[in-house]
Structure 1
């Protein structure tokens, strides 16, 4: 469910006060100060986006990718799951997996990372997030110059990974490959992940 930005005030007395957006929409900084905000709330185009209950596939494929990526990721980078990334004043999505530069870590109390420190973003598509994960978020990640983006889709209980790389000329993502049973890559670093392992998790 998305709370759209509206300039008029909401009058429903049962709604918490923080659900009344300012005329210009919420900002990335607001997410750290809104009381009782539901977990994993994202900010897209100034609107709050609330996440539906997670399905088993979503949880398991994230576990598989995080564990595998931690084995392959070079020492100068770190893997994080479900941490928001500030792309701009009104953009703060929460990708399912992100790889960022180790030097960007600021301690255990961090609530978000900056786009300039992110090397790779992974989004696992859910039924309620198809348009965001397939269209809007990639546009935002590309505009923020995040070089690598993977989109994971469920096909009959199996994972398909769409691998994209930022084209500096067009400033948009170019599809570099579609991977079904095995994810083998040389860029941004060498990766060899057996996607079929999801069946045993």
Structure 2
């Protein structure tokens, strides 16, 4: 970036200066002025861009369908993080957690042992994190299921993964283009083309 380009941003934003070794999961609740949905990955802060229409529509469809299908022992959560360790606190687009799940101080994050499913809708600014970094970290924390939602034209494609406990890595169990019909973690039957039909 040129000096002129750098100067254009001076005074418009104030960014926190990380301590030696990076931020910790506990720091995330204490850093003033962070934008909503700031994530911590490997001690670094990641900020989310505004969600595009596809992202909002896919998330709305999945959240409503999961909430309707979930038995009372589960709850569907949006806008909260999962603490994976001292230097990792990502915020999945959606999570399914135990109904009696414990939360961290302030109720902003959950323990991975209470999370049964994480869902990420891939955006242009999050491709690497959603496809590579987050699934590896979720699997390492023994979260049993991961759904990655990709855009194909105007509709979502859901890639479904399940944890192999021996390797602590995810194995793909299906790629769903038009309908997402699964028995685990509870029965769901979601018409994925409904996103395309939104007015």
- The TM-score with structure 2 as length reference comes to 0.90
Q: Deviations over 1:37-86 (max 9, x none)?
A: 01110001000001112100001111110100011112111001121110
Partner in structure 1 of residue 160 of structure 2: 163
Give the C-alpha shift of residue 131 in structure 1: 0.6
Partner in structure 2 of residue 26 of structure 1: 23
Q: What is the aligned residue count?
A: 189
Question: Residue 150 of structure 2 contacts residue 156 of structure 2 at CA under 8 Å; is this kept in 1?
Answer: yes
Question: Residue 103 of structure 2 contacts residue 110 of structure 2 at CA under 8 Å; is this kept in 1?
Answer: no
1:103 counterpart SS class: coil
How far apart in 2 are the matches of 1:106 and 1:178?
32
**Residues 1:60 and 2:57 are matched in the alignment:** yes
Matches within 5 A, 1:47-126: 47-105=44-102, 109-126=106-123
How far apart in 2 are the matches of 1:13 and 1:160?
41
How far apart in 1 are the matches of 2:70 and 2:163?
19
Question: Residue 102 of structure 2 contacts residue 111 of structure 2 at CA under 8 Å; is this kept in 1?
Answer: no
2:125 counterpart SS class: helix
Matches within 5 A, 1:4-43: 14=11, 16=14, 19-43=16-40
**Residues 1:186 and 2:183 are matched in the alignment:** yes
2:68 counterpart SS class: helix
Moved over 6 A (4+): none
1:19 counterpart SS class: coil
Partner in structure 1 of residue 128 of structure 2: 131
Give the C-alpha shift of residue 22 in structure 1: 0.5
Segments of structure 1 that go 5 or more residues without pairing to the other structure are: 1-11
- The TM-score with structure 1 as length reference comes to 0.89
Partner in structure 1 of residue 192 of structure 2: 195
User: Could you say what the CA RMSD is over the residues aligned between the two structures, in angstroms?
Assistant: 1.8
Give the C-alpha shift of residue 200 in structure 1: 2.9
Question: Residue 103 of structure 2 contacts residue 111 of structure 2 at CA under 8 Å; is this kept in 1?
Answer: no
How far apart in 1 are the matches of 2:126 and 2:39?
12
